[in-house]
Amino acid sequence: MQPDNSINSTTVVNPVNSDNAVNSTSPANTDNLFGNEQTATEATAVTDTTEPPKQQRVGKQQRKSDYADFKATYLTPAKLEKRHPVNIEDSVWEKLERIARILGDRDTTVGSYINAVLLEHLNLYADDIEIWRKL
């Protein structure tokens, strides 16, 4: 009988330690717009376990164009007529306020941002909402 010199198939060549999956000096740990690290950590964990498809590199011009579109759609200051109070969680309010304050113009308010986001959502799902209403 000859000795088996092959590598065991259960041996892991490059094990990933879940504690060290995210390097503390990586850009994923830097402070993001919402001030949390959980989102960056989860995104890194997903890329460690699955192979995402190759994506085209997004250039600076494209990012500026996307930002201009986002700003024109959602962060345009608006005078709200016949306003109504809405209760939302404090953590959500803080995120919305931060977006409106940092990305919006001087007159952009959380209310105008929420109004634009909800209007977009309602327009996007208008057909589905009508179908669901008839069920």
DSSP string, 22-89: S-TTSGGGS--TT--SHHHHHHHHHHHHS-PPP-PPPPHHHHHHHHHHHHHHH------SS-------
Residue 4 domain-assigned (yes or no): no
Instruction: Say what the pTM is.
Output: 0.57
Confidence check: pLDDT of 19 > 50: no
Encoding tokens for residue 8?
Answer: 């065991």
Residue 68 domain-assigned (yes or no): yes
| pLDDT tens track for 84-97 | 999 999 999 999 99
Q: Which residue has the tokens 């309010």?
A: 93
Say what the pLDDT of residue 103 is.
93
Confidence check: pLDDT of 47 > 90: no
Number of domains, the chain:
2
Say what the pLDDT of residue 118 is.
95
Confidence check: pLDDT of 124 > 90: yes
Its domain, for residue 38, covers 16-55
